[in-house]
A and B are shown apart, each in its own frame.
Chain A
Amino acid sequence: MEVSRRDFLKTTALTGTAFVLGLYLPEKSRVTAAESTAKKLAPNAFVRIGEDNRITFLIGQAEMGQNTFTTLSMCIAEDLDADWEKTDIISAPVHPAYNHAWAPMQLTGGSSSIYTMQAEMRKAGASIRQMLMSAAARRWNTQISRIKTKDSMVLNPATGARLTYGDLIEDIANLEVPQNPKLKSPEAFKLIGKPVKRHPKEAWAKVRGEAEFGIDVRLENQKYAAMIHPPVFGATVKNFDGSKALQRQGVHRVKQTPFGIAVIADHWWQAKQALDDVRVVWNAGEFKQVSSESLRQQYRAMMEKPGASARKEGDTAKAFQQAAQILEADYEFPFLAHAPMEPLNCTVHDQGGKAGIWTGGQMQTVYRNACAEALGLEREAVTYHNTYLGGGFGRRAVPNMDFILDAVFAAKGEPWPVMTLWAREDDIRMGNYRPLRINKVRVALDQQGNITALESKLVGQSIMADTMFASFIQNDVDPFMVEGLATHHYDFQNNDIQVYRVKLPIVPLWWRSVGHTHTAPVVEGIIDEAAHAAGRDPVDYRLNLLTEKRMVDVLEDVARISGWKTRKKEQNVGYGVAVVESFKSFVAQVAKVRVSGNQFEVEKVWCSVDCGFAFNPLNVENQMMGGIHFGLGPVKFSALTVKDGMVEQSNFHDYKVVRMSDAPDVEVSILNSGEEPGGIGEPGTPPIIAAVANAIFDATGKRYRSQPIEMG
């Protein structure tokens, strides 16, 4: 699938860029002239320099709030020595030059954008800077060592001469591409590692309502589709009659898509109203009998037999026989919807022989290819436009492509571009949920109260199964199901982790931090129970058993900033702690909870994070805060329940999410350990779920193991 960067350069040449050359080509770069009034240089896939000295960064990752546009651009700008205030960031087209290091596709997920791409971005900036310096040295007939750069300018301190980068774009067109450009030393950083705010253009566009999300796409003669989706999971359309709906004003079409029935009208509200006039007969399927309760029974019955082994070491049976004490615990996690604020949407224009597709997506290549296949086109005949995402949290990286395919098939063969927009109810009820899982665990404690064995039986759907990522499943174990559980950092000596995979017509999907929202509450819950059973302090108890220094460091740090050792015992107030590695980062949190009757409020959260190196500490702080609030939803009240094969919730009145009134103060401490960098979009979420449950125990003496916590 590796396509040379030369191919990319051809592509940009065709789009009207004046001068195009390939920095990454091993041979001498070439200039390609094209018709254009304003001259522009596109030295590589990530940078364009205009003769007006404005520099544009092209980012192939999705911007969904995690700040990848800004942070990756900071990496380029740093080593390019660009004037940050005179830069722009745009969403790159679909092209292999922007593929993720992990897969032959553009993919934004796994909190991986910065740590997988920062080195390449820095090199991209440094290469161009070195070429600009060479070009200036040639013009001024001097040595490159005498040249300096600053704020998108090349300077000759000896003579006072200066040129903008834009002045030099034609000069560098024929230069050799430096293969190993010199990178800035960290002491010289102006952007990397500094608390840089979201790029000013993006920040202002977002507060002025000018940022373009998928839902804001407006094309000439555009129509809008609203959807009817199956009432019961797994149901299919038997037949439908749209004749009455077609009589309504503005309605143009009623048609079937792979996931339901689309009504297309001049305006979305007309289409939405017309749904009431469409008669659909469904093949309900067998799932009609299913409820959350029946699923729980089914899952528990599976635990009777041995599951697939995710981790087996030592002699667990013997450890339990010799145990001074055995603790058993049972954890249940309901289905959860991501519920990003921007309802799911996608716009497609089938132009016969070519097509355009507009959406905010986390898997651009996959969506582009699916659109091409559905419309019978070559992939290159489909132009994909990635807008800002009004939240992702995993929902916009969707292997079954539900909202994408609805839109492609709604627009297929139509003379106009069609935006297919789901109502909030479609989003809450259409599946692609954080899956329901049950985990039954036992730990054996020795005379000193230390855990000597962990046994865990985890039942639920695998997210990877039946997707393009199914090859991750080895020996019947989906590693994303047991991440954080099979990979815990405690020295228990004996471990027996078994998993059971279930298949359901409710499609499962990664939800901010993937497997960790199921596993962190278990590992960090049971160890808290063990600490209590041993009569030991929960922080000290963990420190004694941890085998990973980075876990120890964040735990000690959070104990320090929260005043853990000197915390006052106060009636109805509790403190809970948790420490989790996820997405290669280490996060410890302490939650302070106040209980009143059957209610609890999380008043304050202290968070210590080691992501190796914080490329943008301000954003690390923002992501920790956001990750904590996201995780508080399922702790407090977010849950989807199934009855008669349907999800009972439909909108924010019954699928409750965290509001400002629920949001605690958060204090973040960042440890720049200098270790391998990790992600920051997701790791803030897992610990809070356990920390709050542990804090409620501290306040009340009662353990709440399942989500959401229902006291009383």
Chain B
Amino acid sequence: MTIKLNVDGVPHSVDADPSTPLLWVLRDHLNLTGVKFGCGMALCGSCTVLMNGAAIRSCAMPLSAVGEREITTIQNDQDPIIGKLQKAWVDEDVSQCGYCQPGQIMSAAGLLKSNAKPSDEEIIAAMRGNICRCGAYNRIKSAIKKVVAEA
């Protein structure tokens, strides 16, 4: 079945079962491998993308439920907030293995789009859905705060 999808400002037509999670459409149909698989149950946040600007777990979002809403991935190079976060991530030396970081950055982007000046508690509340097994949490926190301070 062909389904239309709007990803990073580009319209796509995807031939996939409507129940396919958005994650697998992005990774395996559109080759956007920056979006990561981690748990398949919306427990770890590796697959986080934005849907109309809000952070969602793409592994638990069926393709059929996306409709015409705009999907933004880590591979979007036009979004200023994502760009600022990426730079802060590099400046703060956040990434270790780096696998979870696209999802971490997208959760942070979702937060900052709705709340430009989050408190420490608000940062933790928004980020606690994203697991980093390398334990880069202290650096993730400081990278987000760096972007907040510059806003």
- Residues of chain A at the chain B interface (Cβ within 8 Å): 64-67, 197-198, 200, 202-204, 206-213, 215-216, 218, 224, 249, 267-270, 338-343, 388-393, 421, 423-424, 618, 622, 625-630, 651-653, 657-661, 663, 665-666
Closest A-B pairs by Cβ, 10 of them? A209-B34, A629-B135, A390-B99, A206-B98, A65-B96, A65-B97, A626-B135, A663-B137, A209-B74, A652-B43
| Interface pairs (9), CB distance under 8 Å | A198-B90, A209-B74, A391-B99, A625-B139, A630-B134, A659-B130, A660-B128, A660-B130, A660-B141
Nearest residue, chain B, Cβ from A197: B93
Chain A residues, Cβ within 8 Å of B85 = 207
Beyond the given pairs A213-B99, A626-B135, A652-B43, 15 more chain A to chain B contacts, judged by CB atoms under 8 angstroms and listed by A's residue number, are A198-B95, A207-B85, A208-B77, A209-B32, A267-B29, A269-B21, A340-B97, A424-B39, A622-B93, A627-B135, A629-B137, A652-B39, A658-B137, A659-B131, A663-B138
Interface of B: prevailing SS: loop
Residue B119 interfacial (CB < 8 Å): no
Chain A residues, Cβ within 8 Å of B28 = 224, 267-269
Q: Are B37 and A661 in contact, with the CB atoms below 8 A?
A: no
Residue B112 interfacial (CB < 8 Å): no
Which residues of B from 122 to 151 have beta carbons under 8 Å from A? 123-125, 127-141
Nearest residue, chain B, Cβ from A209: B34
The answer to whether residues A661 and B128 also contact, given A218-B33, A622-B136 and a CB cut-off of 8 A, is yes
Residue B58 interfacial (CB < 8 Å): no
A208 to B31, CA, bound (A): 14
Q: Which of the listed residues B20, B86, B89, B93 has the most CB atoms from chain A within 10 Å of its own CB?
A: B93
A207 to B95, CA, bound (A): 8
Q: Are A66 and B96 in contact, with the CB atoms below 8 A?
A: yes
Q: Which of A209, A388, A423 contacts B35 (CB 8 A)?
A: A209
A333 to B98, CA, bound (A): 29
A618 to B33, CA, bound (A): 29
Nearest residue, chain A, Cβ from B121: A661
The answer to whether residues A343 and B141 also contact, given A388-B98, A391-B133 and a CB cut-off of 8 A, is no
Chain B residues, Cβ within 8 Å of A249 = 17
A661 to B17, CA, bound (A): 37
Chain A residues, Cβ within 8 Å of B127 = 660
Chain B residues, Cβ within 8 Å of A338 = 133
Nearest residue, chain A, Cβ from B23: A269
Q: Are A630 and B93 in contact, with the CB atoms below 8 A?
A: no
Q: Are B86 and A208 in contact, with the CB atoms below 8 A?
A: yes
- Residues of chain B at the chain A interface (Cβ within 8 Å): 16-17, 20-21, 24, 28-29, 31-41, 43-44, 46, 73-75, 77, 85-86, 89-91, 93-102, 105, 123-125, 127-141
Q: Are A392 and B97 in contact, with the CB atoms below 8 A?
A: yes
The answer to whether residues A209 and B73 also contact, given A203-B93, A388-B98 and a CB cut-off of 8 A, is yes
Name the distance in Å between A248's Cβ and chain B's nearest Cβ.
10
Q: Are A210 and B138 in contact, with the CB atoms below 8 A?
A: no
Q: Are B97 and A267 in contact, with the CB atoms below 8 A?
A: no
Q: Are A341 and B34 in contact, with the CB atoms below 8 A?
A: no
Q: Are A65 and B98 in contact, with the CB atoms below 8 A?
A: yes
A200 to B16, CA, bound (A): 37
Q: Are A626 and B136 in contact, with the CB atoms below 8 A?
A: yes
Chain B residues, Cβ within 8 Å of A200 = 90
Q: Which of the listed residues A392, A651, A666 has the most CB atoms from chain B within 10 Å of its own CB?
A: A651
Name the distance in Å between B137's Cβ and chain A's nearest Cβ.
4
Q: Which of B35, B91, B128 contacts A659 (CB 8 A)?
A: B128
Q: Which of B21, B35, B99 contacts A342 (CB 8 A)?
A: B99
A148 to B140, CA, bound (A): 41
A270 to B37, CA, bound (A): 15
Nearest residue, chain B, Cβ from A210: B34
Chain A residues, Cβ within 8 Å of B20 = 267, 269
Chain A residues, Cβ within 8 Å of B16 = 267
Nearest residue, chain A, Cβ from B125: A661
Chain B residues, Cβ within 8 Å of A659 = 128-131, 137
Chain A residues, Cβ within 8 Å of B89 = 203, 207
Name the distance in Å between B4's Cβ and chain A's nearest Cβ.
19
Chain A residues, Cβ within 8 Å of B95 = 65, 198, 202-203, 206-207
Name the distance in Å between B145's Cβ and chain A's nearest Cβ.
12
Q: Which of A198, A212, A218, A630 contacts B31 (CB 8 A)?
A: A218
Chain A residues, Cβ within 8 Å of B39 = 424, 651-652
A4 to B97, CA, bound (A): 33
Chain B residues, Cβ within 8 Å of A661 = 124-125, 128
Nearest residue, chain A, Cβ from B138: A625
Nearest residue, chain B, Cβ from A195: B93
A622 to B97, CA, bound (A): 12
Chain B residues, Cβ within 8 Å of A626 = 96, 134-136
Q: Which of A215, A391, A424, A652 contacts B134 (CB 8 A)?
A: A391
Nearest residue, chain B, Cβ from A224: B28
A391 to B85, CA, bound (A): 22
Chain A residues, Cβ within 8 Å of B93 = 197-198, 203, 618, 622
Q: Which of the listed residues A200, A268, A269, A393 has the most CB atoms from chain B within 10 Å of its own CB?
A: A269
Nearest residue, chain B, Cβ from A216: B33
Name the distance in Å between B125's Cβ and chain A's nearest Cβ.
8
Q: Are B96 and A652 in contact, with the CB atoms below 8 A?
A: no
Name the distance in Å between A529's Cβ and chain B's nearest Cβ.
29
Q: Are A341 and B75 in contact, with the CB atoms below 8 A?
A: no
Q: Are A208 and B24 in contact, with the CB atoms below 8 A?
A: no
Nearest residue, chain A, Cβ from B93: A197
A545 to B91, CA, bound (A): 43
Nearest residue, chain A, Cβ from B140: A660
Q: Are B131 and A208 in contact, with the CB atoms below 8 A?
A: no
Nearest residue, chain B, Cβ from A64: B97
A618 to B92, CA, bound (A): 10
Nearest residue, chain A, Cβ from B86: A207
Chain A residues, Cβ within 8 Å of B105 = 207
Nearest residue, chain B, Cβ from A266: B28
Chain A residues, Cβ within 8 Å of B102 = 207, 209
Q: Are A206 and B134 in contact, with the CB atoms below 8 A?
A: no
Chain A residues, Cβ within 8 Å of B100 = 341, 390
Q: Are B33 and A630 in contact, with the CB atoms below 8 A?
A: no
A388 to B101, CA, bound (A): 14
Q: Are A660 and B137 in contact, with the CB atoms below 8 A?
A: yes
Q: Are A206 and B40 in contact, with the CB atoms below 8 A?
A: no
Chain A residues, Cβ within 8 Å of B35 = 209
A342 to B47, CA, bound (A): 11
The answer to whether residues A206 and B101 also contact, given A215-B37, A343-B37, A659-B128 and a CB cut-off of 8 A, is yes
Name the distance in Å between B37's Cβ and chain A's nearest Cβ.
6
The answer to whether residues A215 and B24 also contact, given A206-B101, A209-B74 and a CB cut-off of 8 A, is no
Chain B residues, Cβ within 8 Å of A389 = 97
Q: Which of the listed residues A209, A212, A388 has the most CB atoms from chain B within 10 Å of its own CB?
A: A209
Chain B residues, Cβ within 8 Å of A618 = 93
Name the distance in Å between A359's Cβ and chain B's nearest Cβ.
14
A146 to B7, CA, bound (A): 59
Chain A residues, Cβ within 8 Å of B137 = 625, 629, 658-660, 663
A666 to B102, CA, bound (A): 24
Name the distance in Å between A89's Cβ and chain B's nearest Cβ.
14
Name the distance in Å between B95's Cβ and chain A's nearest Cβ.
4
Q: Are B34 and A208 in contact, with the CB atoms below 8 A?
A: yes
Q: Which of B31, B73, B97, B134 contacts A388 (CB 8 A)?
A: B97
A270 to B25, CA, bound (A): 11
Chain A residues, Cβ within 8 Å of B91 = 197
The answer to whether residues A393 and B135 also contact, given A208-B75, A341-B97 and a CB cut-off of 8 A, is no
Q: Which of B24, B90, B135 contacts A268 (CB 8 A)?
A: B24
Nearest residue, chain B, Cβ from A248: B17
Q: Which of the listed residues B124, B131, B137 has the most CB atoms from chain A within 10 Å of its own CB?
A: B137
Q: Are B138 and A665 in contact, with the CB atoms below 8 A?
A: yes
The answer to whether residues A207 and B90 also contact, given A215-B37, A665-B138 and a CB cut-off of 8 A, is yes
